Amino acid sequence: MSTLLLKANWNYPTSIKVGAGRARELIEACSSLGIKSPLLVTDNNLAKLPMIETALIRCQEAGLQCALFADIKANPTGENVLAGVDAYRNGRHDGVIAFGGGSALDAAKAIALMVGQNRSLWDFEDVGDNWQRVNVTHIAPVIALPSTAGTGSEVGRASVITDTQQQRKKIIFHPKMIPSIVILDPELTVALPLQITAATGMDALSHCLEAYSAPNYHPMAEGIALEGIRLIKKHLPRVIQNGNDLDARTQMLVASMMGATAFQRGLGAMHALAHPLGAIYDAHHGRLNAILMPYVLQANRSEIEQKIIRLASYLDIDNGFDGFLDWILQLREKLGIEHSLSEIGIDARDLGRIAIMATEDPSAQSNPILFTEQQYKNILTAAIHGDYKHHLGTVAIRLAEGTLGEL
């Protein structure tokens, strides 16, 4: 399909503007929301790139009193959010431009939430009915421009923020945290390093795959996840092969957004493990999900095999579950994703602690199987050692039996 045809205006789940060059519509988006003094929130690395300077200049030329906040870590912390709130209030801003990858978008949405609150950030953790504590009146409007195709945070109603005191990632949630306007411009993703393109693409796949596998009833989300996986299968290898392929980059942005829309249905054990691993080791979230993916698939096999067989058929992958798993392994190899957690510096020292944290993570509740602490230890042990070519079958059997020890 021609890049010229990949343009649309969508209002599900929010107002979405899709197409190359549409970042130029940022000023119009601010105007439509009545924003005259936006705080542009991004991360330190992106703040140095021309795309941010261009956005700031456009805002200034349009008469907007725009300022930059970029004090955000790769895994954003509560301290980052509170510093952003101070910047917003001190600058007397009236809206937020969330510009960047998942970290920047999550932090920006949390800042927009917190500028109107008097309670602690952690009072709005996604537990029970905590979201009802939010003072809705003063949540700042958000315009989101993702620069990666991975988290889909631009259409999410939550932010994942690290509580550094507890070394835990916590999900901050409110339905009105979703940005009012999203601009999906593939030109913003062209400068992304190959390694990050691969890891974020696998993150999008993990969202779609876990949403598709979740047991909760949500046929719309299931259908969106299914098509999202197909788009990733077709276009992620193309993006890796040619980073300037705007057609493929557009489709990956769309697939990423679809994954985040679909996981209203739920996530699963990949994320239940990736959240504590990321909090403790400060590792890249998408890369963690990519490494964990085959192990979690194997551990869930008894509950998801028929679903995966249907998925494989839809994707034109032969040999059912095993064929699908082979495709995952081959895709990761093409993308340069590590085979084991040990290859990114994660060992068994915190095994028990991470397993406990995984059972307590909200994502664990929508996994097809409610894994015990021991089962999470088993999955982690397999992922740490990670000899797929020789031990994958053995790992699956022993995971199912709950007897996996040292490989």
Candidate from 5-14, 90-99, 131-140, 215-224 with smallest mean pLDDT:
5-14
Is pLDDT of 108 > 90? yes
The mean pLDDT of 240-244, rounded to a whole number, is 95
Tokens standing for 175?
């339905």
How remote is the C-alpha of 168 from its chain's centroid? 17
Cβ contact 55:99 at 8 Å: yes
Name 333's Cβ contacts closer than 8 Å, sequence gap at least 6: none
C-alpha to C-alpha distance for 46 and 104, rounded to whole angstroms: 9
- Per the prediction, the chain carries an average pLDDT of 92
Strand, helix or coil at 51? helix
Strand, helix or coil at 361? coil
Peptide bond preceding 13 in cis form (omega within 30 of 0): yes
For the stretch 363-394, pLDDT in tens is 999 999 999 999 999 999 999 998 654 444 44
Cβ contact 278:244 at 8 Å: no
C-alpha to C-alpha distance for 350 and 274, rounded to whole angstroms: 13
Q: What is the pLDDT of residue 392?
A: 45
- Return the percentage of the chain with pLDDT > 90, whole number: 87
Is pLDDT of 406 > 70? no
For the stretch 244-297, pLDDT in tens is 999 999 999 999 999 999 998 999 999 999 999 999 999 999 999 999 999 999
Domains of the chain (ranges; CATH) run: 15-188 (3.40.50.1970), 194-385 (1.20.1090.10)
C-alpha to C-alpha distance for 325 and 78, rounded to whole angstroms: 37
For the stretch 62-91, pLDDT in tens is 999 999 999 999 889 999 999 999 999 999
Tokens standing for 335?
């993308």
For the stretch 135-169, pLDDT in tens is 999 999 999 999 999 999 999 999 999 999 998 99
Split at pLDDT 50, 70, 90, the class of 1 is: low
Q: How far are the Cα atoms of 114, 115, 128, 272 from residue 172, in angstroms, in the given order?
A: 10, 14, 12, 15
Q: What is the pLDDT of residue 137?
A: 94
